[in-house]
Amino acid sequence: MRLPRRIPWSSLAELDQLCISIYADDSDVEAKIFAINRISAWKAITTLPNAIESTLAILVVIVQDQKQLYSSSLALRQSYSTAIIRLVNGLVDPLQAGTYARSIISIAQQLGLPTWLVELRHAATHEDLPSLDLLREASRQSMAWLLHNYYLPTLNPVIAHQALTPLRPLAPMLKLYKSTMKIVTRDVSLVAQYKPRIINILRDIERWISEAKVAAISSTADLEYAPTQSFDDNVDGDVKEIWALERFSDCLMEKGMLVPLSKKKRQYSSDALLPSKASIALWEPLLRHVHGIHAQFPFTLCRRLVSIILDSITSQEGENYSDPSYLMYTICWTSWAMQTWNETSPSYLDLRQDALANLVKGLRYDSATLSSQSFPFVLLRCLAPGPREFETISGLLKLQSMSARTVWSPRHLDVMQERQTLLQSYQIPTRPASQNTVSVTTNTSISREISALGWRILQEQKGWKCCPIGVYAD
Domain boundaries defined on the chain: 12-161, 228-403, 410-428+440-474
The Cα 175–Cα 257 span in angstroms is 8
Lowest mean pLDDT among 184-198, 309-323, 399-413: 399-413
pLDDT in tens, 183-228: 999 888 888 999 999 999 998 888 888 878 777 654 334 444 343 3
Residue 175: band (very low, low, confident or very high) from pLDDT cuts 50, 70, 90: very high
- pLDDT at position 101 is 65
Mean pLDDT of 65-84: 84
- pLDDT at position 181 is 92
- pLDDT at position 442 is 45
Average pLDDT across the chain, whole number: 76
Q: Is the pLDDT of residue 473 over 80?
A: no
Asked if 393 and 360 count as a contact pair (C-beta separation under 8 A), the reply is yes
The Cα 316–Cα 313 span in angstroms is 8
Mean pLDDT of 176-186: 91
pLDDT in tens, 102-140: 777 877 777 778 888 888 888 888 888 888 888 889 898
Mean pLDDT of 272-297: 89
Residue 371: band (very low, low, confident or very high) from pLDDT cuts 50, 70, 90: low
Asked if 272 and 208 count as a contact pair (C-beta separation under 8 A), the reply is no
Nearest to 55 by CA among 38, 74, 75: 38
Residue 278 CA to chain centroid, in angstroms? 34
Asked if 139 and 83 count as a contact pair (C-beta separation under 8 A), the reply is yes
- pLDDT at position 183 is 92
Q: Distance between the two ends of the chain, CA-based, in angstroms?
A: 28
pLDDT in tens, 336-353: 988 888 776 665 567 888
Mean pLDDT of 386-398: 65
- pLDDT at position 223 is 42
Q: Is 33 exposed, middle or buried (0-12, 13-18, 19+ CB in 10 A)?
A: middle
- pLDDT at position 165 is 55
Mean pLDDT of 417-435: 62
Residue 413: band (very low, low, confident or very high) from pLDDT cuts 50, 70, 90: confident
As a whole-number percent, the residues of the chain with pLDDT over 70 amount to: 71
Q: Is the pLDDT of residue 239 over 80?
A: no
The Cα 337–Cα 400 span in angstroms is 29
